[in-house]
Structure 1
């Protein structure tokens, strides 16, 4: 007698596996779940945010249904290919739920109860503009949640309307009290500092927790003045104050904090070590009078053709570097170690080093060499805005050819930058300061900065590196060369 297998129940539950969101990455950490068991999801809806070794990425679900199970809690590092969420694509069938497909997969998130099969569904929230992620805008949706055991049958319409007004997006279901409003970078900061967001008092708009709120919560409480102790009964010194902190444990009065190195910071550390000990670095410096460049920046800010884009010294410096590369194209190259070849690039993907809460990242502007000044300004603005929001994709950081790092924003005069992996040169821009300078035979106050160019000495010799740096300096001193040299 042949045993027949019922496949209808298995087909009802679909599993979504951790995808390879980068270029050959093998794992990613789940930073935040945006759905819970019982939530209705639609094809393309973002269900979680993960951090790879390159960036934080939002993952959309590829099918419709009701969330049945979350296989991993937040903060877990998951291998590519492992199932992270199970979705009931036919919730009305009433069949029993299957057991997890992977025996080795962790149990569902403990704090989220499974949906009750016998419970009546709650009324659907009014369709309209619903909050998607704090800090990530809104989207059209009709998300609803199944009722759970012990939970109220419905959310009063008045409470939903009040919550919608607080969020500034119209009527919406009230947010759970145990999920404080905060952007992903702020949540990351709180995690690093060991701060529970539920204990932080929000001061941002619509009750959103800001970075300042987290820092305020992490600030030590001022010690009170000691109470005088009678001479006849001196108080013994507390033993706990002299006890050493336990390694790897967060202690209130610990003398040190240990932070696990993973994700973007781990990748940065590995890339910098690999670059520093693989490519022979040479760094050259030049100090230049950029007074005329600063005047040009001021004029461009008033130019109607530059309306809607941000104009700053970095824009002119970036354009100057692109012109210098056009005059000295050999510097725009890479070293191919396996084939022992120099690969010259006929395009410039201009990298801009950006400091983010997750560490330093270097997204790049694709084909920057073909852009006009307004186009380059718009691309720079978009790149910086995306990086600050923590939404830079791995593709945006791949394929860079030359990089600019602006250390001047921190008040630093100069430095010796380390090459971004796979690139031949990186330009560091120092702070622009008013300094005494010999101008037309007289000492006058002028706007001055220092540039530093590091390059891979395997494919860039001193002459080539010096020419590029000198060209950039000459353009910043006389910006009209942007026209005559272009």
Structure 2
């Protein structure tokens, strides 16, 4: 037989590792070129990996939940010749020699614990459960165990029934809360476990701990999944005083990017508070417009359009600083990033060529971007190449903030909460819808004049939304 190995690819620009979320195949399964064999989570997104050749699965090198470096072999496939000696087929050979002592059954300790496969799991060091292959069964165990359960055992799972159905973000939530998905009652369609199901399963866990009182019996449960769940440090009577969460995935990437941005680009932030009442009225009018039927119309849509109009009037704001070449790169297109809070953390996917989209097209793009992000299906490509970002902190009731630049971009706009406030309108104090915008920019390539003009233009469009037509 001919064995080919498939290595963890770099599914995103510059990524060095990914976590195996789910295997879709098992040893002995037939696979074809282009078939998805697993789902992995990178620092940017959850991605499905296709196998690039035909054959029969020989071995899954790492179990689910393992963080693997790019370039490490994750699966091997028999692509020619006789089928590989699958674990189930190996049973008769062992049974043929029942008198043999157990010792010869595992003659290769080096194969059981290869030193080259010790992936470091971020925040916890080396995980014992993922640094060696599953032990081969003894002669006695092989003789008595049914062949049908062997693939389950080789993959590190007890043959206790089908794997619970849940989306990757829900699985992550369960890991973070220390909830065993097998014990959760699903309420979603087709038996899928939802976030609410996980929260319900986690809720009664807190009061149970004091009833079982002694800390000692509780402690053995923690080592079962030290990598996948936060570690709580008990303070007596079941009360946890600390929780440790592994720094990995999106949170790790975001932290590195923000530190790099904050200490590389000199940030300046400017603010403007203004009357956005007319834009809010336009939002309601557009919702009733038959030409916009079925589209999601909200203030963010018109704010995004106002940003695109302001970029057209101040094109130098849409630029990047190339340190290596010592050049300012002016972008003649706008890939508009929208900061999105997801179960995996904060991500910034962007709408490609947003400057060329009509209002209905922009509405559809925003809706698709948000829906994909919430499902945890945003691809690395969707988060690359951004030129300008909007972060809407107003949805949390926050008036404003001083946002940090998305790496590689020159400016970012924070949108504050829209509130009814007393405002001087036509010479009289009246209740009006008021908001505050904050623009942070890289002072190496955006000076105060350019930043001020751009921010003033955005506010002017939203104060008088007819400028969406006259200025465009």
Q: Structure 2 length as normaliser, TM-score?
A: 0.79
1:395 maps to what in 2?
Answer: 381
SS of 2:307 mapped into structure 1? helix
Residue correspondence of structure 1 range 189-268 to structure 2 within 5 A:
189-221=173-205, 223=207, 249-250=231-232, 253-268=239-254
1:293 maps to what in 2?
Answer: 279
Contact 2:56 2:83 in 1 (8 A): no
C-alpha deviation, 1:470, in angstroms: 0.8
Contact 1:31 1:74 in 2 (8 A): yes
C-alpha deviation, 1:222, in angstroms: 6.6
- How many residues of Structure 1 are paired with residues of Structure 2 in the alignment? 409
2:116 maps to what in 1?
Answer: 104
1:366 maps to what in 2?
Answer: 352
Q: Answer with 318-327 or 300-309: which moved more.
A: 300-309
Distance 1:333 1:65, change over 3 A: same
Higher helix share: 2
Q: Answer with 445-454 or 59-68: which moved more.
A: 59-68
2:33 maps to what in 1?
Answer: 43
2:8 maps to what in 1?
Answer: 18
Residue correspondence of structure 1 range 266-285 to structure 2 within 5 A:
266-285=252-271
Q: Deviations over 1:137-184 (max 9, x none)?
A: xxxxxxxxxxx70459xxxxxxxxxxxxxxxxxxxxxx9834111111
Q: Answer with 419-428 or 289-298: which moved more.
A: 289-298
Q: Deviations over 1:330-360 (max 9, x none)?
A: 1111112223222111111111101111111
Q: Answer with 475-484 or 211-220: which moved more.
A: 211-220
1:138 maps to what in 2?
Answer: none
What is the distance in 1 between the residues matched to 2:50 and 2:377?
14
What is the distance in 1 between the residues matched to 2:183 and 2:295?
39
What is the distance in 2 between the residues matched to 1:396 and 1:50?
17
Q: Does 1:338 align with 2:350?
A: no
C-alpha deviation, 1:361, in angstroms: 0.6
Instruction: Give the one of 135, 157, 171 matched to 1:187.
Output: 171
What is the distance in 1 between the residues matched to 2:133 and 2:453?
60
Residue correspondence of structure 1 range 8-157 to structure 2 within 5 A:
9-10=1-2, 13-90=3-80, 93-94=82-83, 96=85, 104-105=116-117, 107-108=132-133, 149-150=147-148
What is the distance in 1 between the residues matched to 2:280 and 2:376?
30
Distance 1:95 1:29, change over 3 A: closer
Structure 1 unaligned residues grouped into runs of 5+ = 1-8, 113-147, 153-174, 228-236
Q: Deviations over 1:37-81 (max 9, x none)?
A: 233333322211112222221111223333221000112221222
What is the distance in 1 between the residues matched to 2:160 and 2:372?
28
Contact 2:28 2:86 in 1 (8 A): no
Q: Deviations over 1:294-315 (max 9, x none)?
A: 1111122222322332211111
SS of 1:255 mapped into structure 2? strand
What is the distance in 2 between the residues matched to 1:189 and 1:69?
29
Distance 1:178 1:258, change over 3 A: farther
Instruction: Give the one of 397, 401, 410 matched to 1:424.
Output: 410
1:4 maps to what in 2?
Answer: none
What is the distance in 2 between the residues matched to 1:184 and 1:42?
24
Distance 1:475 1:111, change over 3 A: farther
What is the distance in 1 between the residues matched to 2:368 and 2:30?
33
2:126 maps to what in 1?
Answer: none
1:475 maps to what in 2?
Answer: 461
What is the distance in 1 between the residues matched to 2:164 and 2:244?
26
Instruction: Give the one of 411, 415, 439 matched to 2:401.
Output: 415
Q: Structure 1 length as normaliser, TM-score?
A: 0.77
What is the distance in 2 between the residues matched to 1:221 and 1:20?
39
C-alpha deviation, 1:107, in angstroms: 4.4
What is the distance in 1 between the residues matched to 2:136 and 2:316?
58
Contact 1:73 1:109 in 2 (8 A): no
What is the distance in 2 between the residues matched to 1:23 and 1:41?
27
Instruction: Give the one of 297, 312, 333 matched to 1:311.
Output: 297
C-alpha deviation, 1:216, in angstroms: 2.1
